Amino acid sequence: MSDSPFIALQKLNSYYGSRQILHEIECTIPRRKITVIMGISGCGKSTLLRHLIGLKPTEAGEMSIEGKDVGTFDESDMRAYRMRMGVLFQGGALFNSLTVAQNVATPLKVHTRLADSTIAIMAAIKLHLVGLTGAADRMPSQLSGGMRKRAGLARALAMDPEILFVDEPSSGLDPITAAGLDDLILELRETLGMTIVVVTHELESAFRIADQMIVMDAGKILVAGAPEEIKSNRDPRVVQFLERRADERRTEDESYMASLLGGRKVECEIEE
């Protein structure tokens, strides 16, 4: 059982309205490992994460958690799954009317019968882990973007999750704070055996922390494997992604021209 994956996806397709975002996604999230999901902006990383955390429904047969089809989950199965996970959303998603410490304490207040003083200590522990001890009594509006991210991570850790999902933990952080966050993620896996899924743009951070990598492109998995396998992959699109010669810009230019010209394609040559 301990070798079987925590989560398995089989041919997951995902839509917003009639627009298909994810195509036949197949991957596994191994236990007690760090899985990093990468890919250019808009390729569907956060959408994939929404499925993994059960926020976006999956059809029967598409996703299983510990071997059990999520399509057959009833409300209490889903609630039980949610109690085992911590999530840091891309925007941080703090409650603006609560202090940082109250934000971290909220899941514990809602989901446990722990005494307030116990909860306060647990919240202080989590804030210390992310280096925000001094900001406990501040309001989210008084935090920098990076501090908000870290407060969100402290809240994601409030319930001592078995599985942690983090969307872009280090975007907006200075390199030193970002490296500190990488260290914390590694430490959580090493000392607690936490299963961790990280979505990130930061290649350096990705290669530092990943046990397994999933590189996405336009709603599909381009390649998945150990960091060394990704590094030595010769697929031009993987190479291009790793070398950052993003063709994001080129497709954007194309659709920009199309929008200017009402969808007409034009060929033009410049005469010398």
Ligand X SMILES: Nc1ncnc2c1ncn2[C@@H]1O[C@H](COP(=O)(O)OP(=O)(O)OP(=O)(O)O)[C@@H](O)[C@H]1O
Footprint on this chain of another protein (rule: CB under 8 A) = 108, 112-115, 117-119, 121-122, 125-126, 128-129, 159-160, 187-188, 190-192
* 44/169 with CB nearer ligand X: 44
259 three-class SS: helix
**How far apart (Å, rounded) are the C-alpha atoms in residues 224 and 228?**
11
Residue 49 C-beta: closest distance to Mg ion, Å? 8
Query: What count of other Cβ atoms lies within 10 Å of the Cβ of residue 243?
Result: 9
Residue whose entry in the numeric block shows the structure tokens 């090493």: 190
Q: Which residues contact 52 (CB under 8 A, 6 or more apart)?
A: 7, 29, 63, 165, 197
**How far apart (Å, rounded) are the C-alpha atoms in residues 259 and 48?**
29
* 49/132 with CB nearer ligand X: 49
Q: Which does 135 bind (CB under 5 to 8 A by kind): another protein, Mg ion, ligand X, none?
A: none
Can you list the alpha helix ranges (DSSP code H) found in the chain?
45-52, 75-83, 100-111, 116-129, 145-156, 175-192, 203-209, 227-231, 236-243, 248-260
Note whether 43 binds ligand X by CB under 6 A.
yes
- Exactly one of 41, 96, 191, 259 binds ligand X (CB under 6 A); that residue is 41
Which residues partner with 197 through β-bridges?
35, 165
Residue 230 C-beta: closest distance to ligand X, Å? 17
Could you tell me which stretch among 69-77, 83-91, 120-128, 141-149 binds Mg ion (CB under 5 A)? 83-91
Note whether 16 binds ligand X by CB under 6 A.
yes
Which of 140, 103, 134, 108 lies closest to 122, judged by CA?
108
Could you tell me which stretch among 38-46, 120-128, 133-141, 173-181 binds Mg ion (CB under 5 A)? 38-46
Taking CB atoms, the residue at the shortest distance from Mg ion is 46
Q: Which does 122 bind (CB under 5 to 8 A by kind): another protein, Mg ion, ligand X, none?
A: another protein
Residue 196 C-beta: closest distance to another protein, Å? 14
Note whether 171 binds Mg ion by CB under 5 A.
no
**How far apart (Å, rounded) are the C-alpha atoms in residues 210 and 240?**
20
Note whether 46 binds Mg ion by CB under 5 A.
yes
Question: Where along the sequence are the contacts to Mg ion (CB under 5 A)?
Answer: 45-46, 90
